[in-house]
Amino acid sequence: MSYLSIFFQYAGQYLKTRLTYRADMLVEIFSDLLFQAVNLIFILVVFGHTSLLKGWSKDEMVFIYGFFLVPFAVFGAFFNIWDFTDRYIVKGEMDRILTRPIHSLFQIILERMELESLFGGVTGLAIMYYAGNNLGLSLHWYDPFIFLVLVAGGALVYAGIFVTLASIGFWSDSRTDIMPMMYNIGNYGRYPVDIYNRIIRYVLTWILPFAFVGVYPAAYFLGREEWYHYAFITPLIGVIFFAISVFLWNIGVTKYRGAGN
Amino acid sequence: MAKYLEMIRIRFLMMLAYRTNYYSGILIYSINIGAYYFLWSAIYGDKPSIQHLSIVQMTTYIAVSWMARAFYFNNIDREIALEIKEGKVAIEMIRPYNYLSMKMMQGLGEGVFRILFFSVPGMVIVYFIFPIQFTSHPATWLYFLVSIILSFIINTQINLLTGIATFFLFNNDGLIRAKRVVIDLFSGLILPISFFPGWAQSIMGYLPFQGISYIPSMIFTEGFQGSEVIHGLMNQALWCLVLFIPIQVLWTTAKRQLIVQGG
């Protein structure tokens, strides 16, 4: 059994269970949409009072937000590990995972899939299309491919940060609120980083690189050449951060002692 | 009355037992306040004021909105939903108190705890980080106090309504989530109502949400002057009374058609 076929089998099972409760799923998608709409309304209302924000126009801001939604949706669909410590370590579920011959992180990704989050990506594409139209952006034939690479990079940045945080659970299973905190810090990435002061900009670029989920990759499509070198290292940053997180995870698994006695 | 007071006390003590969770909460709120602070600084640029609010008033508005949120925010809609799903609500109904009032008191116990252990220290911290101005008029403080009590009542009433809706929907998570998002936007937490375009403002004038965050925050930042303050408080008080009606109607209907799941 290859990892890929296991993935599709899980996804198939998942869709069956979700489609059993269609109303639930629709309500969930609807409340996600509402959430995305609120952030969009915020941007639109703010630009009712100013025409430029540190040199970014309304449509550019909207475009950045639209782009951010796509990698964030991919992350939300596959990396629901915000409750990993409670669910797997405190309750001892990790024991079950570790007895199976597939990488433990991959299994958790499969078990905690939430494919309906991917609708957020559709919203993001729609928002980008709308803003791109207003800006008169044109696409080259290779742009969709670059888009996919940059989205993957952004999603890996998010995944890397959260897998790293989840790995902390192997060393200490005490409750921390570091996950929700990180979600809130991630929101900083929805806006252009040059509105923040230098320290925060540095943190968002090199330490908690949320800027690579929003403004940097989006800058490529907006044709802002001063950001290109940041835009193009997005996949690299994503891979590096994700690799570090998997490395930490693997060390953590060896430290896992199991629940009970 | 004594038993309701006792309930507030018990909730307060319960929260006290887990108070360490709150220190990280203050940090989370500071992060949120920080994000909006930088955003608004960029929006203001070199404008002295937008919609009669200066940048200092705006920063104060954001900080107070978030810190007041700690007081009025509670999860009793989720708790009610859970008690209905697990069938515990049947037991609650035969107890010698009014279930909904008791829920409100639990929320109040949490609110009182958070304002003492969360909002007050949090406010002191953000005061040192961000340029915030506290008013020196004692009257403003008094109005603000009345206003956040009313805002607690309105928000809790809306929570009761969403909680009771579980009787009719069985699975209510979506509604509860959607309500939370709507309240964040329409209550003026993330941006003052006066920033919205005129048509949106007039729609919101007919909704109870601005009484949750916008009115108390505007009173605190003195964005409301003179008669506007009294108008705001009247608006809140009116909604407190009006919201009792749907709660009563839904509650009596719900009790009649109670199906205890698994019972």
A11-30 confidence digits (pLDDT tens): 999 989 888 878 778 888 88
B191 contacts in chain A (CB < 8 Å):
42, 45-46
Q: Rounded CA gap, A110 and A11, in Å?
A: 8
- Position A180 scores a pLDDT of 80
Q: Give the A-side interface with B, CB within 8 Å.
A: 21, 23-24, 27-28, 30-31, 34-35, 38, 41-42, 45-46, 48-50, 53-54, 175-178, 180-181, 184-185, 187-188, 191, 195-197, 200
Q: How many helices (H) and strands (E) does chain B have?
A: 13, 2
Q: Rounded CA gap, B75 and B17, in Å?
A: 18
Map residue A172 onto helix, strand or coil.
Answer: coil
Confidence of residue B242 (pLDDT cuts 50, 70, 90): very high
Does the pLDDT value for residue A175 go beyond 80? no
Q: How many CB atoms lie within 10 A of CB A101?
A: 5
> Six-digit token pair at A67?
């782009």
- Position A79 scores a pLDDT of 92
| Min distance B162 CA to chain A CA atoms (Å) | 15
Confidence of residue B170 (pLDDT cuts 50, 70, 90): low
- Position B232 scores a pLDDT of 94
- Position B212 scores a pLDDT of 95
Residue A9 CA to chain centroid, in angstroms?
Answer: 23
| Residue among B2, B11, B10 nearest B107 (CA) | B11
Selected for mutation to probe chain B from A27, A29, A60 (highest B CB count within 10 Å) is A27
Confidence of residue A1 (pLDDT cuts 50, 70, 90): low
* Cβ–Cβ < 8 Å for A206, A194: no
What average pLDDT does the segment B2-24 reach?
A: 83
- Position A149 scores a pLDDT of 96
Residue type, B189: L
Q: Rounded CA gap, A64 and A216, in Å?
A: 9
Does the pLDDT value for residue B262 go beyond 70? no
Confidence of residue B122 (pLDDT cuts 50, 70, 90): confident
Q: Is B173 left (phi over 0), alpha (psi -120 to 50) or beta?
A: alpha
Chain mean pLDDT for chain B: 88
What percentage of chain B's residues is helix, strand, coil (to nearest 5)?
Answer: 75, 0, 20
Does the pLDDT value for residue A156 go beyond 90? yes
Query: Model confidence over A98-137: pLDDT tens digits?
Result: 999 899 999 999 999 988 889 999 999 999 999 999 998 8
**Chain B: residue whose CA lies nearest to A26:** B174
- Position B261 scores a pLDDT of 53
- Position B28 scores a pLDDT of 81
pTM: 0.88
Contact assignment for A175 to B51 by CB distance below 8 Å: no
Does the pLDDT value for residue B263 go beyond 50? no
- Position B136 scores a pLDDT of 83
| Min distance A3 CA to chain B CA atoms (Å) | 33
Does the pLDDT value for residue A250 go beyond 70? yes
Contact assignment for A42 to B191 by CB distance below 8 Å: yes
Query: Model confidence over B45-74: pLDDT tens digits?
Result: 878 888 888 999 999 999 999 889 989 998
- Position A231 scores a pLDDT of 93
Contact assignment for B178 to A30 by CB distance below 8 Å: yes
Question: Computed from CA positions of residues A153, A158, A164, A167, in that sequence, does the dihedral angle turn out positive or negative?
Answer: negative
